[in-house]
Amino acid sequence: MTTAIADKAQQILKDVFGFNKFRPLQEEVVHHCMMGNDSLVIMPTGGGKSICYQLPALTMDGAAVVISPLISLMKDQVEALKQNGVSAAFLNSSLSAQDQQKIEEEFMQGEVKIVYVSPEKLLTRNFFNVLQSVHLNLIAVDEAHCISQWGHDFRPEYTKLDFLKKQFPQTPIMALTATADKATRNDIASQLGIPEAKTFLASFDRPNLDLTVRPAQGRLETIIGLINQAPDQSGIIYCLSRKSCEQVAEKLQAKGIDADFYHAGLPSDVRDKTQERFIRDDLKIVCATIAFGMGIDKSNVRWVIHYNLPKNLESYYQEIGRAGRDGLDSRTLLFFSYGDVVQLKQFIEESPQKPLLEAKLQRMQQYAEATTCRRKVLLSYFGEQLEKDCGNCDVCRNPPQFMDGTVLAQKAISALVRARQKVGMRLLIDILRGSKQQEVFRLGLHEIKTYGAGKEHSYFEWQHFIGQFLNLGLLEIAFDQHNALRITELGKRALKAEVPVQITKPESLDERKQRLAQA
């Protein structure tokens, strides 16, 4: 890497983009590319991927092509470049044939420095001819995870991009994505025919975010308690359904809290207004579905709460990432319940991608139930290893205590055997606690020998224990049998005390009271 190139890159960063310093990895990527090498760039959303290819494209002789699957994004990027005085254009099906031709001509004549194209357009014979007649200095493949069948954004056209390296062997290729799992990364490099590409993996860590997970019981009281501690702060509460967004917002309003709701079922002018008020600090709290937050650039969001479990760690990471953009300490709180897991499983039941989505949900659940540093668990999902525990998550602050769960497991499993494995979590707890509910009598569950065998523990504690048994694989949920609990082979061995059952202690009554007291 010569200093001449470095100086030039630095100069253009300042002159064209108006930035004084490179963000982490940008400079390395730019240099690597300008030396003619292929690269795979993995950076979280907002990390600054665009500069990585825009800067070399402007600095080197010739012109660059950027493949992007998102028409709206292309337009934004091109407008931003034009505002910085860069001649850029995009080509996709939103333009008339005439307009496309005009841009192609300008591109061939060297009047356009960076052209964004959709994969469909790139694969046309005509555009191939255009590419052959320009001096291509760089090929960038944005949203490169679309190449992978393992991803949820799979684009069949992206699998045909291997011709690029074959036809333009001298031109450096840069693939960029925010999805970092290993399988996807390998897929990208192999399908683009750039197995030697250097991988640049930016840190996904956001050390200023506190990561906390709590049981879902008493969610609303917990939330009100938190808000009351710092009533002036801005926050987002993510809910799974439109209805719960509305209900949560209304309940907060009833407590005199400045909250409103946002979801895709609202007219767009109402949504825009809510978003606008939130950004201007005229509205403190938004209860929203995942529809909220795309492209929101609000730096002082002080907390993000997940009322329900997100469907995977990518969504979770992106949503908590809307807190603390200004780098100041911010809080995130995730409520976990098995009810949410069951509901999310039902959503993916019919999907052709069921195995993949199930695996992702399972990783989400593992995070929520982690008994080691949560940041380690989260970052390892994105392929990053933290050397030390973070000290800024609930597990680090308050490591779980373990207890022997053998007898508890025996009680639960033998009650299940006697109930012929036809009951779900709620009825099983009713049996164990000797509940006087009508349904228990109607089903004859009060005649079971273990009826009342666990009455020294609260409903809440049993929820925790059974959650742990599910977690350890002693039990599973039979989704095809109305979510009845089923005993696994391991569970049968636990019943005979053949395997140790180590579980975490449930939140104590005092801790729980403390958590709910502020409401």
Q: What is the secondary structure of 222-286 as a DSSP string?
A: HHHHHHHHSTT-EEEEE-SSHHHHHHHHHHHHHTT--EEEE-TTS-HHHHHHHHHHHHTTS--EE
Quick one: which of 7, 15, 36, 46 contacts ligand ADP (CB under 6 A)? 46
H/E element, 403: strand 402-404
Question: For residue 394, what are the contacts with CB-CB under 8 A and spacing of at least 6?
Answer: 211, 212, 213, 214, 374
Point out which residues pair with 115 in neighbouring strands. Answer: 65, 89
C-alpha atoms less than 13 angstroms from C-alpha of 229 in its C-beta half-sphere? 13
Residue 59 binds ligand ADP (CB under 6 A): no
Q: Which does 51 bind (CB under 5 to 8 A by kind): ligand ADP, Zn ion, none?
A: ligand ADP
CB of 43 to ligand ADP, least distance (A): 5
Number of residues that bind ligand ADP (CB under 6 A): 13
Q: Which is nearer to Zn ion, 212 or 435 (CB)?
A: 212
Q: Which is nearer to ligand ADP, 51 or 249 (CB)?
A: 51
Q: What's the CA angle centered on 513, arms 509 and 515, to 5 degrees?
A: 120
**Site map 338..377 versus Zn ion, x via CB under 5 A:** -----------------------------------x-x--
CB of 83 to Zn ion, least distance (A): 41
d(C-alpha 296, C-alpha 220), whole Å: 26
Token representation of residue 84 = 């910085």
Quick one: which of 10, 16, 23, 386 contacts ligand ADP (CB under 6 A)? 23
Number of residues that bind Zn ion (CB under 5 A): 6
Nearest in space to 487 (alpha carbons), one of 477, 498, 497, 496: 477
d(C-alpha 27, C-alpha 142), whole Å: 18
Q: Which does 205 bind (CB under 5 to 8 A by kind): Zn ion, ligand ADP, none?
A: none
Region 375-434 residues binding Zn ion, contact defined as CB under 5 A: 375, 389-390, 393, 396
Residue 305 binds Zn ion (CB under 5 A): no
Residue 48 binds ligand ADP (CB under 6 A): yes
Q: What is the secondary structure of 156-174 as a DSSP string?
A: GGGGGTTHHHHH-TTS-EE
487 and 413 Cβ atoms separated by less than 8 Å: yes
CB of 150 to ligand ADP, least distance (A): 21
d(C-alpha 469, C-alpha 412), whole Å: 9
357 and 236 Cβ atoms separated by less than 8 Å: no
Residue 19 binds ligand ADP (CB under 6 A): yes
Q: Which is nearer to ligand ADP, 13 or 390 (CB)?
A: 13
CB of 481 to ligand ADP, least distance (A): 44
Q: Which does 277 bind (CB under 5 to 8 A by kind): Zn ion, ligand ADP, none?
A: none
Cα 447 from chain centroid? 47
Point out which span in 38-46, 87-95, 191-199, 404-412 binds ligand ADP (CB under 6 A). 38-46
Residue 174 binds ligand ADP (CB under 6 A): no
Q: Which is nearer to ligand ADP, 51 or 237 (CB)?
A: 51
Strands 285-288 and 259-262: parallel
Residue 124 binds ligand ADP (CB under 6 A): no
Region 305-344 residues binding ligand ADP, contact defined as CB under 6 A: none
Quick one: which of 9, 25, 51, 361 contacts ligand ADP (CB under 6 A)? 51
Q: Which does 390 bind (CB under 5 to 8 A by kind): ligand ADP, Zn ion, none?
A: Zn ion
452 and 462 Cβ atoms separated by less than 8 Å: no
Quick one: which of 9, 12, 29, 47 contacts ligand ADP (CB under 6 A)? 47
Alpha-helical (H) ranges within 112-260 are 119-122, 125-132, 163-167, 182-191, 219-229, 242-254
User: Which residues lie near Zn ion (CB under 5 A)?
Assistant: 373, 375, 389-390, 393, 396
User: Which residues lie near ligand ADP (CB under 6 A)?
Assistant: 19, 21-23, 26, 43, 45-51
